[in-house]
Chains A and B, each alone.
Chain A
C-alpha cells in the first residue's frame, strides 16, 4: 500500500466522521466547529490531489471566513434572541432514506459509466496544480468570469448589508 493511499484513507475517515458529527450534533455551535474541521480535511485531500492553491483558499475562505461568519451569526442570534442553541432533528427516517437513495443513484451512474472508467486510469499527474500555472490561466483565460465573480461578491456584500440594516430598523421600531 502506497503512503498517499494511507493518508487518503485517514483523511477520508476523518472527513466522513466529522461530516456525520456536523449534521448530527445536538449543539449547533459544535456542528459548526465540526464543519470547519471537515472543510480542513477536504483541504488536505486537495493537497493530496496536488491542488495547493485550492487547499490554501479552502482553508482561508471556507474554514476561516465562512465558519467565522456562521459562528458570528449564531452568537448574535443567541444573544439577541435569547434562545438556547439546542438542536433536534425531525423526520430522520425519510431524510435518511432519501440521502441513501441519492447516494445509490450517484454511485450507480458513476460505476455504470464507461467514461469515468476510462478517466480513472488515463493520465499521470506531472506538473499538475502548480500555483503559478493556475494563476496565469486564471488571469488570462478566465479573467472575465473572475471579474464577474468580483461583482457578485460586491453584490453579496451590499445585499447582506441591506438585509442586516432592515433588520436593525425593524428591531428599533419594535423597541419603540
Chain B
C-alpha cells in the first residue's frame, strides 16, 4: 500500500518530465506533430489517471531525499509529499492540462511541425513544473519550481515570438513576476536564516521561535512574490497582456494553474501566517481591491480574452481576500471551481477566436444560431462565473462572501458583493454581444462559420460537466480536506444570487433589450469611463517608473562604475605599470645574471637559518629551522628503515 502510493506519486510527477526530456532532446520526435503531441498527451494521461487513483486511495505519503548530505550541518532536504490539498491540485493541474493539450491539437493545427512540437515540449515542462511545485516539501524546492512555471509562462506567452506584442508581453510578464519573486527569494532566505531549514515540516515546528517582527517581514516579502504570480494589484498588469499567447495557454496557465500558485503558496504556508496576522490583513485588503479593480476594468474591455483575463484577476482577488480573512478552505474551494469554469470559458472563447480570427467582441455577434454548442458552453461558464445557482461558481463564491460576512468583515463583504454584481454584468455583456449582437464592426462581412471539431468540444464538455456538478460536491470537498463545511443561515444568504441576477438583468437591458444606451451612460460617466479605459493609468505609471526611475538609477550606477570603480582600477593599473617600468631594468636578458639571483637567494636563506635562533623571539617561531629539518630527515630515514 505504502509502496503503491509512492509509485503513483512518481507516476504523477515524472511522466511530463520524461515527455519534456524526450521532446526536448530528440529533434526527430519534436519535428513530428504526431510524436510530439502523442508523447505529451500520453504523459499527461498517465499523470491524470495516477492523480485520480491517488484521490481515491487518499494516502498520506512522501518521498524525501537529502541534497548534499552532511553530518554536522542540516542538509537541504528535497522531497515530494501528498496530502488532500496536494491531491486536489494534482487533479486540477492534470485534468486541465489534459483538456488543454487535447484541445490544442486542433487549435494549433496550422502551426508548423517545429513550433507545434515546441508547444508540446513547453506544455510538458509546464505540467511537470506545476505538479512538482504543488507537491514540494521544501521552500527552496518550491522556489525552483515556482521559477520553472514562470519560465514556462514566459515561453508560452511568447510562443508567437515573431509578433512584437507577444514578445513584449512575455518580457513584461517575466519582469513583473520577477519583481515579486525577488521578495519571495528574500523572504525565503530570511526564514532560512532564522530557522536554518527550508524543510516545511521543520520550518513549521521552529517558526514560533522566530521573533514576531522578523516573521512578519519575511511573510510580507513572500506575499509580494505571491502577488506577482497571482496578478494582484498593483502587480496585476502583466496578466491581461499575457493574453498574447495562444488561448489554450491562457486557459491552462493564466486562468487555472500557474496564476493560482501565489494563492497556493500562501495556503501552504498558512501555519506561518497564522502566527502573525498583519500579512493576512494586508492580503485581504489587496485581494478585495484587486477583485473590485479587475471587475471594473473588465467592463470596458472589447477583447474577449482581455475580459476573461481581468475576470481572472478579479477572481484571484476573491481568493486572496478569503485567504486573508482566514478562510483557507473556502479560498481553495473557489480556486478549485474557478480552475474549471475559467478554463472552460477560455477554451470556448478560443474556439471562436480560432474560427473567426478575431477576438474583438463587437466583430463577433449572431453566433448563437451558428454554433449552439459553443453558446451553451460559454453560457455554462458565464453562469458559473457570475455565481448563478446550480453551477459551481455559485457555491464557492457564496462560501467566500458568507465567510466574510460571518467573520464580520463587513466592508470587504460589501465590496465583494458589488464586485459580484459587476462580474455578472461584464460577463453577460460579453455573452450578449458575442452571441446575440449584430456584429457591427465587421465592415459588411458576414460572420464566418464556427468550426468545432470533437477534439475541441470534448475537453470543453468534460470541463462543463465538472463545472455543473463540482458545486454540489462542496461538502465532500471540505471533508476531503478534513474541514467542516459551515452551514450558514442568515438573512443575507440569497443576496449574492440576487445580486448576480441583477447584474445579468442590467447587462440584458443594455446590450440585448437596448432599453438603455451604453454609450449615453459612458458619456455621462466620462471621467470614470476614461479612467477605466486607461486602466487607472497603471501601465503609464509603470512605464514612467521604468523609464525615469530605472534610467536615473542606471545613470547613477553608470557614473559610479565609470568614475569610481574604473578610476580605482585605472589608478592601480597606472602605478603597477610605472613600478614595472622601473623594475624591468633588473631583467638583463643574460642567463648568467639570473643565476646570480639564485645565489643571492641561497645566501639569504643561509643567513636566515644561521640567525633564526637569535631571531626566534621576533619571529615567534618555536622550532630552530636547522634542527627542525634534521628532525624531518631523521623521521624519513626511520620510515625508510622500516
Residues of A within 8 A of B (CB): 91, 94, 98, 101-102, 105, 108, 112-115
Contacts and interface: CB of A to CB of B under 8 A. Distances in A.
Contacts of A108: 606
B277 interface: no
B594 to A, nearest CB: 13
19 contacts: A91-B592, A94-B596, A98-B596, A98-B599, A101-B599, A101-B603, A102-B599, A102-B602, A105-B602, A105-B603, A105-B606, A108-B606, A112-B626, A113-B626, A113-B630, A114-B630, A115-B630, A115-B633, A115-B634
Interface in B566-597: 592, 596
Interface of B is mostly: helix
Contacts of B606: 105, 108
Contacts of B602: 102, 105
Nearest to A95: B592
Contacts of B596: 94, 98
B626 to A, nearest CB: 8
Contacts of B630: 113-115
Contacts, number: 19
Contacts of B634: 115
Interface in B584-642: 592, 596, 599, 602-603, 606, 626, 630, 633-634
Contacts of A98: 596, 599
B609 to A, nearest CB: 8
A152 to B, nearest CB: 23
A22 to B, nearest CB: 17
Contacts of A113: 626, 630
Contacts of A101: 599, 603
A104 to B, nearest CB: 9
Given A94-B596, A101-B603, A115-B630, 10 more contacts: A91-B592, A98-B599, A101-B599, A102-B602, A105-B602, A108-B606, A113-B626, A113-B630, A114-B630, A115-B634
Contacts of A114: 630
A112 B606 CA distance: 13
Contacts of B633: 115
Nearest to B627: A114
B604 to A, nearest CB: 11
Contacts of B592: 91
Nearest to B634: A115
Interface in B356-399: none
Nearest to A97: B599
A99 to B, nearest CB: 9
Contacts of B603: 101, 105
- Most interface-central of A101, A102, A105 (chain B CB within 10 A): A105
A101 B604 CA distance: 12
Contacts of A115: 630, 633-634
B521 to A, nearest CB: 94
A146 B633 CA distance: 25
A86 B603 CA distance: 33
Nearest to A119: B637
A108 B603 CA distance: 12
B595 to A, nearest CB: 8
B635 to A, nearest CB: 12
A107 B626 CA distance: 15
Nearest to B630: A115
Nearest to A113: B630
Nearest to A105: B606
A150 B633 CA distance: 30
A55 B598 CA distance: 32
B613 to A, nearest CB: 12
A167 to B, nearest CB: 19
A94 B590 CA distance: 15
Nearest to A108: B606
B122 to A, nearest CB: 55
B573 to A, nearest CB: 37
A6 to B, nearest CB: 32
Contacts of A112: 626
A98 B598 CA distance: 10
- Lowest 9 CB-CB distances: which A-B pairs, in order? A98-B599, A105-B606, A115-B630, A115-B633, A102-B599, A101-B603, A98-B596, A105-B602, A102-B602
Nearest to B603: A101
A73 B599 CA distance: 30
Nearest to B600: A98
A82 to B, nearest CB: 24
A115 B628 CA distance: 12
Which of A91, A94, A98, A113 has the most chain B CB atoms closer than 10 A to its own CB?
A98
A102 B600 CA distance: 10
Q: Which residue among B592, B599, B630, B633 has the maximum number of chain A CB atoms within 10 Å of its CB?
A: B599
Nearest to A94: B596
Nearest to B633: A115
B630 to A, nearest CB: 6
Contacts of B599: 98, 101-102
B500 to A, nearest CB: 89
A116 to B, nearest CB: 10
B593 to A, nearest CB: 9
A118 to B, nearest CB: 10
A94 B592 CA distance: 11
Nearest to A99: B599
A91 B595 CA distance: 13
A65 B599 CA distance: 31
A100 to B, nearest CB: 11
A113 B634 CA distance: 12
A166 B296 CA distance: 85
Interface centre among B592, B606, B630, B634 (most CB of A within 10 A): B606
Nearest to B592: A91
Contacts of A102: 599, 602
A98 B633 CA distance: 28
A118 B626 CA distance: 16
A91 B630 CA distance: 37
Interface in B172-196: none
A98 B630 CA distance: 26
